[in-house]
Structure 1
Amino acid sequence: MHYTVKIESVSLLLDSGLEKYETDHFESGGHNWKLVLYPGKQNEDDGHVSLYLEVAEPDDIHIGWEVNAHINFFVFDHIRDQYLSIPASDNGIGRLFHKMKTEWGLKDFMSHKTLGDPSKGYLVGDCCVFGVEVFDIGSPSKGESLSLVKQPKDGLYTWKVNKFSTLGANCLYSEVFTVEGIKWKLLLYPNGDSRSPGKHLALFLTLRNKEEFPPGRQVYAHYKLRTMDQKASKHCELTG
């Protein structure tokens, strides 16, 4: 697949101050792309036109999505009726697109001096044609991500239980609280759960609803449960 963009009035484009121009989306290898052109400023001594191939909708791709593509950028030579093609990589290796790298290109694809040289044939009648060729696209892969947080800012939750002596054997849930985007609850058995009825207070950290998670999602938590000593501050703590 190759995609071209014809630019008329190139001199006006270079004087316009436009930072970049993005083409319409086009499909290649089952994926949507766009060609992005950075015209540069005409009054710069070392001004260049830059060309990039970008994933059309980067926010929609997921962690683990990968595509390997060979890319050639080109400009049309009107005099010789042919394209000058420059690969995005000179070692024959394709470029890998993924969630953290959604664009590849050439910052200094062509200098303004070369573009404006009449003998080159790239600029005729203030018009030029740029393009990109995308081929040999590898299939996307699958994967997953693991994120770790050492000390969450919202990691402390305090639950005050009133009229404790009247709760009996019933279990009690706290309000839902959120830590690092995960919703939790505390589960309290005032007189112990089925494993130690009438002997211990039982306290658990629980997910609000594990069914809300996508299939295969796992959460590991380093936690500390604490019953406050309201007089001497000799708290009862359990780390898990």
Structure 2
Amino acid sequence: MKKVYLIAVIFALIAGFATYFFASEIDKKTTIKDADTVEIIVPVNDLAQNSSITEEMFAEDAGVFTKKTVVASDVNAENVATEQSQLVGKVTVDPLYAGEPINVNRVEDLNGADVALSLKLPKGKVAYSFSAGSVTSVDGYINEGDKVDVLVYDAETKKSKVAYKNLPIMRVSTATASKNASASGTTLTEYSTLTVQVTEKQALALYKIENENSFKLVLKHRNNAPTTAPANAK
């Protein structure tokens, strides 16, 4: 008899749990159905950091991005990507994960500070860095976006020449976060490296100059001419 009662109790508990979960599922579906929803963009697969987002990625057969309907209260409408225009032309500064809402703060324009330098290089260009020991000119006033000329002194001919003109400064690295103030109170950067945008041929020539010649960098006016090299530069 006791076994019969025990079995009855077990079946009663199973029936109770089944009823509870069934009711919860109905309530959940009813809640989702009645709640405000929003259509968001999500990655189909994980997308690595520093990935460029193009319009072609949104094609149905591309399999990169897709639309997903979610309850509006489950996402931050101000930060989540809902339109293709919010992402095209951007670069991921953090990995994006499959099926997750895309926070627009995790993508930046190509010129964003957190975007890899290699993505900013035009086709056919490379980045070349001068070491701090050889950069002895302009008193630390060079900034990203500036352009410089490379002034070279030839010990054999005892002559100076401008080897390259208007090289764009892409990065200014500092040895430490601290900066020294000049006597006038102006803040001066302590250089570690200065990185310029050049061709591979120019990079080889600059490496030769840096190792064999005495040189200085001449800071140019911000509205100077487009980047060019002297006709006789090799």
TM-score strictly above 0.5: no
Question: Between Structure 1 and Structure 2, which shows a larger proportion of strand residues?
Answer: 1
TM range (shorter): under 0.3
Question: Between Structure 1 and Structure 2, which shows a larger proportion of helix residues?
Answer: 2
